[in-house]
Copies of this chain bind each other. A is one copy, B any other.
C-alpha cells in the first residue's frame, strides 16, 4: 500500500484555466499531495509547456486520457499517479471519470458529476465496485462554518428542524442574456456543453447540497418553477424549487444567474424548534446562531467553543479570514484521509452519492417545471 504524499494527476486545469489554480492550491495546502503529471490542456504543446513551467517531469505531461492511463499504468505501482482531478468541460466529466475509476484511480471531480442522473447512478456503482475514493467538489462544504453548522445541527442545537431556505444568487449572465447574439455565445447556455440545466445544474444544486449537507435530511420531493427568460434560450437562468424532506420538512431552493449585481450570494438558513442558523458565503467566517429567546450569537472560526470538525477545518487563529481556497483545501485533505484509509469524519468531502443526489434533484426540477410546476419525487 502506498504511503506518504498522494501522487496527483490533473485532467484539464492548465494554462488559462480558472479552476485549475483552485485545485492545485487546494492540493498543496494540506501537504498531502504531490502533483506529478496529467493532461493539462487539450493542446499537447500547451500541456507540455505547462508541465515545464511547473517543473514537472516532462514524461508525465500526456497527450490525452488514453495516453495518461497507459503511461501511468506502465509505471511501477509506487511511482504511479494514484488520484486524478477532473477539471475538463462539463460534458467530459462523466466519460473521463468512468474511465479513470474503471482503471482504479481515485478521482476528484468538478461539478456536475455527469450529464444525467442515470450516468451518475452508473458511476456510483462503478466506484463502489472498484473500491476507489470519489470526491465531488461541492466546495462550499469545505468552509469551517458550514461544517460547524452541520456539526451543531447533528448535535441537536436546532432541535427538530421545521423550515429551511437556501439561496444562490448570481448576476453574471445578465450582461449576456438579453441579446440573442450574445446569449448564443455563452457556453453554459449550450446543452451540448453545459448539460440539461444551466442555473440549477451549476448553482441551484449547490444550494440543494448545502441544505442536505448541513441538516443531514433527505429531500425527496420537488416542485420547481424555472425560467429561461427568452423562448429561444434552451436552458434555465433562474428558478425556485419548493422541496420537502422524507420526514416532511419544507424548504426552498432559490437560484439565479440574472440577479443583477449579485456576485456569489449564497445564504443557507435552517430553523428548528430550538434555534435557527444562517451562513452566508460572501462573509464565510460568520455563522449566525439564533437561539429561541436569546440574543443572536455570531460564531467565528478557530474558537474553542466550536465543534472539532470545524476546528480541524481551520488552519489559523481566530480573526484571520480564510476563503474559498481554504475550503477546497479542506476537501482535498478529507479526500486524502479517505485515500490513505485513515479515519475521517462524515462530511469531510462530498462523495459520488452526493453527485447522484444532485443529478436526481436537477432532473426533478426540470421535470416539475416542464409539467407546469407539479410535485416530482427524487
A residues in contact (CB < 8 Å) with B = 4-5, 18, 21-22, 24-25, 28-29, 31, 34, 53-55, 158, 162-163, 165, 170-171, 174-175, 178, 223, 225, 227, 229, 238, 240, 242, 250, 252, 254, 256, 258-265, 269, 271-276, 281-285, 289-300, 303-305, 315-326, 372-373, 375
Contact = CB atoms under 8 A, between A and B. Distances in A.
Contacts of A55: 4-5, 34
A285 B322 CA distance: 11
A294 B300 CA distance: 10
A130 to B, nearest CB: 27
Contacts of A163: 227, 238, 256, 258-259
A339 to B, nearest CB: 16
Contacts of A262: 271, 276, 290, 319
A354 to B, nearest CB: 20
A171 B315 contact: no
**Nearest 4 A/B pairs, CB to CB:** A261-B290, A263-B319, A264-B319, A28-B28
Contacts of A53: 31
Nearest to A22: B316
22 contacts: A4-B55, A18-B317, A25-B315, A28-B29, A31-B54, A170-B319, A227-B250, A260-B276, A261-B291, A262-B319, A281-B319, A282-B285, A294-B297, A295-B297, A296-B297, A316-B324, A320-B324, A321-B323, A322-B325, A323-B326, A372-B375, A373-B373
A265 B318 CA distance: 10
Contacts of A276: 171, 259-262
- Residue from A225, A242, A285, A319 whose CB has the most chain B CB atoms within 10 Å: A319
B320 A321 contact: no
Given A28-B28, A261-B289, A263-B318, 6 more contacts: A170-B319, A171-B271, A240-B252, A295-B299, A295-B303, A323-B325
A3 to B, nearest CB: 10
A364 B308 CA distance: 44
A291 B262 CA distance: 9
Contacts of A264: 317-320
A272 B292 contact: no
A254 B55 CA distance: 46
A293 B176 CA distance: 12
B174 A273 contact: yes
B315 A21 contact: yes
Contact of A258 (B162, B240, B290, B291): B162
B292 A171 contact: yes
B260 A272 contact: yes
A31 B15 CA distance: 13
Contacts of A271: 171, 174, 256, 258-262
Contacts of A321: 281-284, 321, 323-324
A211 to B, nearest CB: 14
A26 to B, nearest CB: 10
A29 B163 CA distance: 39
